A = this chain, B = another copy of it.
Amino acid sequence: MATGQPYTRLIRRLESIGALSEESRHFISQLPMTVRSYKTNQDILREGDVPTQCCLVVDGYLCRHKMANGSKRQIISFHIPGDMPDLQSLHLTRLDHNISTLGPAAVAFIPHAALREMLPRSRELTHAFWRETLVDAAMFREWVVNLGQREALARVSHILCEMTLRLQAIGLAREFTFALPWTQGDLGDACGISPVHVNRVIQNLRARGAIEWHAKVIKILNWEELKSIGDFSPEYLHLRGEHHDTRIEAD
A binding-site residues for B, Cβ under 8 Å: 47-48, 64, 66, 68-69, 72-74, 76, 88, 91-92, 94, 96-97, 120, 123, 126-127, 130-131, 133-138, 140-150, 154, 189-192, 231, 235-236, 238
From residue A90, how far is it (CB to closest CB) to chain B in Å?
A: 8
CB-defined A-B contacts under 8 Å, sample of 7:
A64-B141, A68-B146, A88-B137, A92-B135, A94-B238, A96-B141, A140-B144
Q: For A145, give its contact among B66, B133, B136, B145 (CB under 8 Å).
A: B66
Contact A147 B148, beta carbon cutoff 8 Å: yes
Tell me the bound Cα distance from A192 to B148 in angstroms: 4
Contacts of A66 in B (CB 8 A): 141-142, 145
Tell me the bound Cα distance from A235 to B149 in angstroms: 27
Closest 3 A/B residue pairs (Cβ): A148-B192, A140-B140, A68-B149
From residue A115, how far is it (CB to closest CB) to chain B in Å?
A: 12
Contacts of A92 in B (CB 8 A): 131, 134-135, 138, 238
Tell me the bound Cα distance from A10 to B131 in angstroms: 22
Task: Give the residue name and chain of the B residue nearest to A65 (CB).
Answer: B145
Seed contacts A68-B149, A92-B134; 12 additional CB < 8 Å A-B pairs: A66-B142, A66-B145, A68-B145, A68-B146, A73-B149, A88-B138, A91-B127, A91-B131, A92-B238, A97-B141, A130-B130, A144-B147
